[in-house]
C-alpha cells in the first residue's frame, strides 16, 4: 500500500488527467476558432480545426492512460510535454496581447485575453506530468482511499478556482452573488450622473431605500421639496441599475414629483456621499 503522500499525489494526478480529458473532448467536439494560440501560431482557421482535433485526441488518450495508471514512463513525459507546450504558448499569447481565449474550455464563454489563471492551469498539467513520471501513481485503482480522495478533491478545487470567471457573476442577472445591493449602490454613487443630478436638484435629505424587481436594482433618494404656490410637492430621485455581461452596468435615472418613496429597505450611503438635514437646506421649504 503506498504511503499517504503518494496516495494524495496519485489523486491529484488523476484529477489533472480528468481536466486534460475535458479539455481534449472540448477541442474535438466544438473547438474555438478565435483562439489566442491560433493567432500566436498564425494558422488559418481550416488548418486550425484539424490541429485542434489532433491535439484533443492526444489529450484524451493521454488522460485515459494517466487515469488508468498505464505506462507512467510514457504518459508522464507526454503529459508534461503537453503542459509545457500549453504554458509556453499561453505566455507568448499574453505577452503579445493576442485576442481570444485559451481554447480549452469553450463553453465558459469567449475570453478577450489570456489571463494568468489559464497559464496556471497549464502549469498544473505540467507539474502533474512530472509527478506521474517521478512517483508512478497507480491511477484510479487507489480510488476510495482517504489519501487519494483528498488529493483529488484538493486538485479539483484548485482547477475550479483557476477556471472561474472573475469577478464572479450570477448567470441570469450578471449580479455579484455577494452583497449585490451594496455593489449596485456603489455603481450609482460612483457614476458622474449621480453628481450631476445632485447639482441640479439639490442635496439628499436621507439615505436611499432599496428594492429589487427582477434583474433591476432600484434606489430611491429623498430630495428637497418644491413649493408651487401654497402646495408643497415632495420629490424623489430614482435610480435603476441593470448589470450586463462582462461587468457592464446600465443606469437609468428620473426625478419624480409628488410621489411617495418606493417601499424597500433603507441602506447606508458610502462615506464619500454626505446627507444634509432638512433644517439646513436653504432655498427650499421642507415639512416634518
Q: What would the CATH number be for the domain defined by 180-280?
A: 3.10.450.630
The pLDDT assigned to 121 comes to: 92
For the segment 206-255, what is each residue's pLDDT rounded down to a tens digit?
A: 778 888 888 899 898 887 776 555 556 677 888 999 988 767 888 888 88
Which position has the higher pLDDT, 181 or 232? 181
Predicted model pTM: 0.63
What's the pLDDT score for residue 134?
67
The region that residue 228 occupies, defined by phi over 0 for left and psi between -120 and 50 for alpha, beta otherwise, is beta
Domain residue ranges in the chain: 4-163, 180-280
Range of weakest confidence among 187-191, 256-260, 273-277: 273-277
pLDDT at residue 278, rounded to an integer: 45
What is the torsional sign of CA 118, 123, 125, 128? Answer: negative
Mean pLDDT of the chain: 79
Distance CA 265, CA 217 (A): 12
Cell of 240: 435603476
State yes or no: pLDDT of 205 exceeds 80.
Answer: no
For residue 274, is pLDDT > 80?
no
Q: In the sheet where 231-243 sits, what is the strand order?
A: 249-257, 231-243, 216-228, 209-213, 265-266
Average pLDDT over residues 111-139: 81
**7-62 pLDDT, tens digit each:** 888 888 999 999 999 999 988 887 676 788 888 888 888 888 888 899 999 999 99
Amino acid at each position: 500500500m503506498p504511503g499517504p503522500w503518494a496516495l494524495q499525489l496519485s489523486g491529484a494526478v488523476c484529477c489533472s488527467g480528468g481536466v486534460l480529458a475535458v479539455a481534449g473532448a472540448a477541442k474535438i467536439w466544438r473547438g474555438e476558432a478565435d483562439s489566442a494560440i491560433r493567432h500566436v501560431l498564425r494558422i488559418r482557421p481550416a488548418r486550425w480545426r484539424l490541429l485542434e482535433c489532433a491535439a484533443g485526441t492526444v489529450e484524451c488518450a493521454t488522460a485515459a492512460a494517466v487515469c488508468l495508471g498505464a505506462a507512467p514512463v510514457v504518459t508522464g513525459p507526454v503529459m508534461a510535454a503537453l503542459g509545457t507546450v500549453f504554458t509556453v504558448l499561453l505566455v507568448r499569447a499574453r505577452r503579445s496581447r493576442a485576442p481570444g481565449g485559451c481554447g480549452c474550455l469553450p463553453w465558459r464563454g469567449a475570453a478577450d485575453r489570456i489571463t494568468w489563471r489559464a497559464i496556471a492551469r497549464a502549469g498544473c498539467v505540467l507539474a502533474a506530468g512530472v509527478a506521474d513520471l517521478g512517483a508512478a501513481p497507480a491511477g484510479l485503482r487507489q480510488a476510495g482511499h482517504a489519501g487519494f480522495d483528498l488529493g483529488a478533491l484538493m486538485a479539483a478545487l484548485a482547477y475550479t478556482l483557476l477556471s472561474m470567471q472573475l469577478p464572479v457573476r450570477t448567470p441570469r442577472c450578471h449580479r455579484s452573488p455577494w452583497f449585490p445591493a451594496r455593489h449596485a449602490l456603489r455603481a450609482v454613487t460612483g457614476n458622474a450622473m449621480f453628481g450631476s443630478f445632485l447639482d441640479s436638484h439639490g442635496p439628499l435629505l436621507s439615505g436611499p431605500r432599496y428594492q429589487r424587481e427582477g434583474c433591476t436594482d432600484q434606489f430611491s433618494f429623498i430630495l428637497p421639496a418644491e413649493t408651487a404656490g401654497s402646495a408643497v410637492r415632495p420629490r424623489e430621485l430614482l435610480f435603476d441599475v441593470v448589470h450586463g455581461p462582462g461587468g457592464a452596468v446600465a443606469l437609468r435615472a428620473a426625478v419624480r414629483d409628488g410621489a411617495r418613496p418606493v417601499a424597500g429597505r433603507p441602506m447606508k450611503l458610502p462615506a464619500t456621499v454626505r446627507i444634509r438635514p432638512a433644517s439646513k437646506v436653504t432655498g427650499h421649504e421642507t415639512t416634518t
